[in-house]
Structure 1
Amino acid sequence: MTATDYQAPTNAYSDPNVTPPLAQAIPLGFQHVLAMFASNVTPSIIVAGAAGLAFGGPEQVYLIQMAMLFAGIATLFQTVGIGPIGARLPIMQGTSFAFVGVLAGVAATQGLGVALTACIIGGAIHFSLGSVIGKIRWLFPPLVTGLVILAIGLYLIPVAIKYAAGGAADFQMAAESFGSLKHWSVALTVVIVSLVLKFFTKGITSNAAILIGLLTGYLLAFIVGMVNFNAVGNASWVTGIQLLPYGFEFSLGAVIAVTLVSVVSAIETVGDASATAKAGAGRDATDEEIAGATYADGLGTAIAAFFGGLPNTSFSQNVGIVGMTGVMSRHVVTIGGLVLIACGLVPKIGAVIASMPLPVLGGGVIVMFGMVAAAGLNVLSEVNLNRRNMVIIAISLAVGLGLNLVPTAVQYLPGVVKTLMTSAVAPTALCAIVLNLVLPEEEAA
C-alpha cells in the first residue's frame, strides 16, 4: 500500500487529533520513518568519525542507537506533548545536520565530552527560546536563515565527497584505496538509484528514495566484499543507556557555537510548524503551537545530549508527506516516533547501520548535503538580490567558509574564539545578522 492509495479529503483528516483507521495510520507512520531514517543517523556517523571513534565499533554503534532513540522521544514531545511543550502537530523530529560542522570540529579538537556538554547547555537555551521566539524572529529574515542553511550544505559537501571516495586516514579508512573505482561505483549506485526512485516513482518508494538507494549500495558493497558483519554478531539485542557517557566538560567557545546554531534551528522549526499547519489544515500555526514546537526542540536536544545523542530538530521532508497525503493526524507521526524508539533500543540495528561502508554513506550524503545547500538557495530566492543583500551574502560566505577552509588564518586567536571562528556556520550567521542590522536598506528605484 502506498500513500496515494489512501489520500483523504483535506477536511477528513485536517484535525491533528483525528486518527485514520489503523490500516492507514500504521503504513503512514512507517512512511514518515522511511523518509527521514537515513538523514537521522548520518550526523552521528560523521561526528563519531571526527571524534576518532573506530568505524563500526561499539561507541559508534551506541551513538547511532541514541540518534534513533531520542529522535523518537523528541517526536513524542512534539506530537503528544507535556503541558506547554510540544506543538501537538504531526512534526517528525530527527538528528540535525545544522550542528554537524560545529560538533565535528569540537569533537575532533576537544572531544565528545565537550561537544555533548555544549549540546546540553545549547538545548536548555534553545528550550528557553520558546517563550520569546515570536519576538526575535525579525533577527532572522530569509536573507540570514538562507545564508546559514547554504553555509551548512557547502561545509558538508567535501565530507560527502571524501566518504564517497572511500574515506581517508582521518576518517578511519585506508588512504591507499582512496578514490578507487570500486568505491565510486558503490557511491554512484546509491546516487543513481535514489534519483531514479525519487523522480520516476510515487508514494513510499519516492519518499524513501535515499533509504532504498543506501540499501542498494549496501548490497553491492556486500557483493564486492566491502562489508564486515563482525560488529553485528557481537552486538547484543538489548541496549544499556549511559548517562553522560563522555563526561561533562565545559568550553565557552563550543557552547557559543552550538547556541548560535540552536537559534537558527529554532527558526527552522518555526518554519516547519507553520508549513505543517498550512499543508495539512490550510491555516496558520498558532502562537501556542510555535512556542510548543520550540520547547520540544530544545528539550529533545538537551535530554539526548545527556545520554550521548546529538541535537534534534524538526524534519522538513516529513512536512512534505503531510502535504502529499492530506493527513494532519499527529497520532500517525506518534507511530513513527514509537518505531524509532524501538529501533534505538536494539543494538543490533545500530550495528547493521554502523557496518555500512563509507562509500555507501557517501553516495547518500552527496544527495542529502547537496539538498541542504539547495534548500538554502531556495530560501534566498525569496530575497531581493540588490547590491546591499549581495554584499551581505558575499561577505558572510567568504568569511564563514574561508576561515573554515584555512583555520591557520586565525591560529593565534584564543582557543574559544578560534573554535567559534572556524566553525563555518557560526561566523556566517554572525556576519549575516550584524550586516543585516547595520547596512541601510536600499531605496526602491
Structure 2
Amino acid sequence: MGKKNQNDHELIYQLDGKPSFGVAFPLGLQHVLAMFTGNLAPVLILIGVLKLPQDQSLRMIQCAMFVSGLTTFVQLYPIKIGKFQIGAGLPIVMGTSFAFVPTAKNIGLQYGLAGVLGGALLGSLVEVVMGFFYKPLKKFFPPLVVGAVLITIGIHLLKVGVDYFAGGVGSSDYGSPKNLFLGFLVFAVIMSLQRFGKGMWKISAILIGLIVGYLVAIPLGKVDFSHITEAGWLALPVPLVMPWEFEFHLEAILSFAAIYIVSGLETIGNTSGITIAGFNREATGEETSGGILADALGSTTATLFNALPNTAFGQNAGIVSMTKVVNKWCIAMGAFVLMGAALFPKIGAIFNAMPSSVLGGAVITVFAMILINGIKMIAKAGFSERNVIILGVTFGIGLGLGGDPNVTAQLPGFISFIFKDTVACVCIVSIIANLIFPPSKEDKELAKAAMLEEEIKEEKALVLE
C-alpha cells in the first residue's frame, strides 16, 4: 500500500484531516444517496397536499436541498459565539424532517403555506431554549414521552403513505391497478435490496427503488415530462422570494413547538450514537448543545428559504456507526453535492414529476419504521405499572380525543387546535402525565435494565451485519 493510500485509510477514521478527493467523494456521496429521498419526500408530500403551482414547488425542492447542505456544514464546522457554539463539530448530516409532516399538513389545510412557515419559524425558538438549557430540561422528555410521540407520528404518516401508494388524494385514478402495481413494485425492490443487498446497494435501496418505479411508470403514461423541459438549467436558491407572507397563529406555533421538542431529542440521540460508535465515548455537553442549536438554526433558515424544518438524519448516523468513517471532510463532500444539486432546477423538476404511487411505495416503509422506533424507545423505558398508566393516559386522551376534533371543537381556540393536531396533543399530554406520575426507584432500575438489554441486542445486530 502506497504512503498516500495509507494516509487516506487512516484519515477517514479520524475526525479532522483531508483525505484525497478520490477517497472522500465516494464516502460523502453514499451519505447523500442514503438521505436524498428522505430529504425531499416531506416537501413533495406538502406540495401535493397544498396543490402548489409548479414554479413554487420547484423552488421549495431546490431550497430544501440547499439548506440541508448548508446546515450540515454548520454541524461539521461550528460557529463560535462566546462560550457557546452552533454545531456539534461531528459528522452529522441534516435534512428535512418527516416528524413535521402531519402538523404541517393540518396547519397548511387551515392557514396555507404562510401559516406553516410562520408557525415553524417561531416554534423553532423552543429548540433554541433546549440547546442552551438541555441538561436541566432533559428530564421532562424521557424515552417514554418521545416514544409515544414517534408512534403517533408513524400512525399519521402511514395514512399519508397509503394515500400516496394509491395515487394521491383527489387523483382521478385513486387505487387503480396501475398505481397499486407501481407502489408494490417499488416496495418489492426496496425490501429485496434491504434483505439481500450489500454495501452501496443496501444503503441506496430507497433511491434505487424509486428509479426503478420511475422508469416503469414512463411507458405506463404516469410521468408528465412537460414540467421538466420547462424548468431552467441554473438558478440560485434565494430566501424570501416566493409570493407568500408569513402568518403567525398561536395554535400553529404551539403545535410546531411540540414537534421541535421531539426533533431536538432525536438530535441528542443521533449525536450520542455517533460519538459512542465512532469515538467510544459519550457526547460532550458542548457537542450536544451545539447539535441542538444547529438543528434550530437549520430549521429557522429552512423556513426563511420557504422550506420545511431540518433535523439530524438517523440513517446517516447509522452509516457512521456501521462504517466507523467519522472524517468531517468526507461528510463535507456530501454537503457540497447537496448544495450543488440545489443550483439546478431540473433536478427538482424530475423529482416533482415522480408519480405519487412511486413515492408511496418508498415512504410507506420509512413511515412504518418511525412507528417501530417509537415502540423501541418505549421498550427501553420498560413496562412498569407507572409507565403503563402514563401510556394509557397519553394514548387515551392524546390519541383518542385528539383523533376526533369534533369532540373538542367548543373549547377555546388554541386548545381546540392542539386537539386537532394529534401529534402535538400526544406530546403535551405525555409530558404532563410524566410529571404527575414521577418515576419511583424501581421504575428507574427497570428502565436501566431494559436499556441495557436493548443495547446488547443492538450490539449483537451490528456484529452480525
- Which TM-score tier does this pair reach, normalised by the shorter chain? over 0.9
What do the CA deviations read for 1:50-108 (whole angstroms, capped 9, x no partner)?
22325xx2222221111111111111110122111111110000001111111111011
The aligned residue for residue 152 of structure 1 is 153
The aligned residue for residue 220 of structure 1 is 216
What do the CA deviations read for 1:278-309 (whole angstroms, capped 9, x no partner)?
11111111111111111110011101101201
The aligned residue for residue 58 of structure 1 is 55
Q: Percent identity?
A: 37
Q: Secondary structure at the match of 1:128?
A: helix
Q: Secondary structure at the match of 1:408?
A: coil
- TM-superposed deviation, 1:421: 1.5
Instruction: Say if 1:403 and 1:38 are closer, same or farther in 2 by CA, change over 3 A.
Output: farther
The aligned residue for residue 348 of structure 1 is 346
**Distance in structure 2 (CA, Å) of the matches to 1:115 and 1:78:** 25
The aligned residue for residue 434 of structure 2 is 436
**Contact preservation (8 Å) 1:273, 1:285:** yes
1:23 is aligned to 2:43? no
**Distance in structure 1 (CA, Å) of the matches to 2:195 and 2:43:** 28
1:166 is aligned to 2:167? yes
Instruction: Say if 1:404 and 1:52 are closer, same or farther in 2 by CA, change over 3 A.
Output: farther
- Normalised by the length of structure 2, the TM-score is 0.89
Matches within 5 A, 1:247-326: 247-326=245-324
Aligned counterpart for 2:190 among listed residues 187, 190, 194: 194
What do the CA deviations read for 1:313-353 (whole angstroms, capped 9, x no partner)?
00010011112211111121111111111111211111100
Letter paired with 2:201: T
**Contact preservation (8 Å) 1:50, 1:104:** yes
- TM-superposed deviation, 1:206: 0.5
Q: Name the stretch that deviates more: 42-51 or 151-160.
A: 42-51
1:73 is aligned to 2:70? yes
**Contact preservation (8 Å) 1:124, 1:299:** no
| Alignment RMSD | 1.9
- TM-superposed deviation, 1:443: 6.8
The aligned residue for residue 3 of structure 1 is none
**Distance in structure 2 (CA, Å) of the matches to 1:12 and 1:336:** 17
**Distance in structure 1 (CA, Å) of the matches to 2:353 and 2:293:** 35
Instruction: Say if 1:415 and 1:63 are closer, same or farther in 2 by CA, change over 3 A.
Output: farther
In the alignment, structure 1 segments of 5+ residues that lack a partner are 1-5
- TM-superposed deviation, 1:124: 3.4
**Distance in structure 2 (CA, Å) of the matches to 1:442 and 1:230:** 63
**Distance in structure 2 (CA, Å) of the matches to 1:395 and 1:160:** 27
**Distance in structure 2 (CA, Å) of the matches to 1:160 and 1:398:** 24
**Distance in structure 2 (CA, Å) of the matches to 1:362 and 1:407:** 27
1:37 is aligned to 2:36? yes
Letter paired with 1:407: P
Instruction: Say if 1:236 and 1:395 are closer, same or farther in 2 by CA, change over 3 A.
Output: same
- Normalised by the length of structure 1, the TM-score is 0.93
Q: Secondary structure at the match of 1:94?
A: strand
Count of residue pairs the alignment pairs up: 432
1:131 is aligned to 2:132? yes
Letter paired with 1:19: K
- TM-superposed deviation, 1:148: 1.0
In the alignment, structure 2 segments of 5+ residues that lack a partner are 1-5, 444-465
Letter paired with 1:70: V
Q: Secondary structure at the match of 2:381?
A: coil
- TM-superposed deviation, 1:17: 1.0
Q: Name the stretch that deviates more: 191-200 or 435-444.
A: 435-444
**Distance in structure 1 (CA, Å) of the matches to 2:194 and 2:436:** 43
